[in-house]
Amino acid sequence: MFEALFVDSLTPLTTALLAVALLIACGFEFVNGFHDTANAVATVIYTNALKPWRAVVLSGVFNFIGVLAGGISVAMGIIKLLPTELMVSQGSGGALAMVLALLAGAILWNLGTWYLGLPASSSHTLIGAIIGVGLANSLTAGHAFGEGVNWSKAADIGTALLLSPLFGFTVAALLFLLLKQFVRDQRLFAPPPGLTAPPLWIRSLLIATCSGVSFAHGQNDGQKGVGLIMLILIGLAPGGFALDLQADASRLHSARIAAVEIEELLVHAEVLPAGADAARLEAAVDPTSQRAEEPRTAALVALHRIERLLEGRDRVREIRRADRFHVRQSILLLDDAIKELGKADALSNLTKSQKKALDAHRDEIKGLTDYAPTWVLFAVALSLGVGTMVGWKRIVLTIGEKIGKSHMTYAQGAAAELVAASTIIVSGQLGLPVSTTHVLSSGIAGTMVAQRSGLQKSTIRNILLAWVLTLPASMLLSGGLFLLFRLFV
Per-residue pLDDT tens over the stretch 461-473: 766 776 778 888 8
Which tens digits make up the pLDDT trace of 206-250? 888 888 888 888 887 788 788 878 877 877 777 888 899 888 889
- With a cut of 80, say whether residue 285 has pLDDT above it: no
Q: Determine the pLDDT at residue 290.
A: 43
Pick from 107, 353, 159, 370: which is nearest to 251 by CA? 370
Q: Determine the pLDDT at residue 321.
A: 83
pTM score, two decimals?
A: 0.75
Spatial contact of 135 and 475, defined as CB atoms under 8 Å apart = yes
* Mean pLDDT in residue range 82-86: 57
Q: Determine the pLDDT at residue 91.
A: 47
Spatial CB neighbours of 94, under 8 Å, sequence gap ≥ 6: 86, 137, 486, 489
Spatial CB neighbours of 480, under 8 Å, sequence gap ≥ 6: 136
Pick from 29, 127, 21: which is nearest to 82 by CA? 127
- With a cut of 60, say whether residue 86 has pLDDT above it: no
* Mean pLDDT in residue range 98-114: 80
Q: What is the spatial distance between Cα 291 and Cα 355, in angstroms, rounded to a whole number?
A: 21
Give the pLDDT band (50/70/90) at residue 5: low
- With a cut of 50, say whether residue 1 has pLDDT above it: no
Number of Cβ atoms within 10 Å of the Cβ of 56 = 28
Domain range summary for the chain, segments of one domain joined by +: 3-240+374-485, 244-366
* Mean pLDDT in residue range 326-332: 87
In this predicted model, which residue has the larger pLDDT, 143 or 296? 296
Pick from 38-47, 155-164, 318-327 the range whose average pLDDT is largest.
318-327
Q: Determine the pLDDT at residue 258.
A: 94
Pick from 304, 331, 302: which is nearest to 316 by CA? 331
Q: Determine the pLDDT at residue 257.
A: 93
- With a cut of 90, say whether residue 322 has pLDDT above it: no
Number of Cβ atoms within 10 Å of the Cβ of 193 = 10
In this predicted model, which residue has the larger pLDDT, 84 or 233? 233
In this predicted model, which residue has the larger pLDDT, 161 or 212? 212
For residue 63, give the H/E element and its range. helix 52-69
Got the DSSP string for 235-265? HH-HHHHSS-TT--HHHHHHHHHHHHHHHHH
In this predicted model, which residue has the larger pLDDT, 443 or 373? 373
Torsion of CA 327, 331, 333, 337, to 10 degrees: 140
